[in-house]
Amino acid sequence: VDPGYNWTAETYHNQISSGEFDYEERSHRLCSPIQNIRTDIRESVFADAGYNYNYDISTAAPTILYQYYQTVPSYYGLVLETIEDYIVNKHSVRDELSVSSDLDPGIIKKILNGLFNGAKLSVHYNTQLFRLIGYDIAKMRYLQQHPYLNALRADIKEMWCVIKADQPKSYYTDRFCKDGSPRQRQYGSKAKWNLYFRLERNVLNSIKAYLQARDCRYFLEHDGFR
């Protein structure tokens, strides 16, 4: 038996057996140290404790954001076909990109999720996705010109344009502005992630209420539950 299994089972025995877990809220997410335990160990410990079902939202960020896009007041009925295709065919899209770009499938998944929340395909050294691929200029140039990614990026841009139109505006005072007038804060990656985490939490709250009404033991994992 893996020592990590024994440590996890013993350390968190009371929480797992009772279904009463200690969470800390961070940016709309409920966090537990158990979520950081190696996946195979975590799954084995929960399965042996009778948590027989494991669910998550398929393609969570694209799905939740796209569904939200279709509900905002500024939505005018435009179907974003490449986003819809990615949600349905995520595995084949990731596999093709992984093979053609010579990047690990896990990295491709992170790149795609990043694009949905404001990350850029750029060769600037301070950008997240360039760092993620090891500052490989040739691979980034390949991703920048990929037809599917370009179509997806165009859809994502349109989606956020519609969503942003109904978001509260935030302002700040720039000391370099001569007239002292407030400037509107850009709706950047941080704001996009914050909105996504808030939407994700709304979904999780509904799931939580459903499980509580049925007296189930459950453990929450951001966009999933056991």
Tell me the per-residue pLDDT of 51-81, one tens digit each, with 9 for 90 and over: 999 999 999 999 999 999 999 999 999 999 9
Share of the chain above pLDDT 90, in %: 88
pLDDT, one tens digit per residue, over 114-147 is 999 999 999 999 999 999 999 999 999 999 999 9
Q: How far apart are CA 141 and CA 58, in angstroms?
A: 29
d(CA 139, CA 111): 12
Q: What is the pTM of this model?
A: 0.88
- What does the alpha-carbon distance between residue 11 and residue 1 come to, in Å, rounded to a whole number? 16
Burial track 211-223 (b if 16+ CB lie within 10 A, e otherwise): eeeeeebbbbbbb
pLDDT band at 178 (very low <50, low <70, confident <90, very high): low
Mean pLDDT (the chain) is: 94
Residue 112 pLDDT > 80, yes or no? Answer: yes
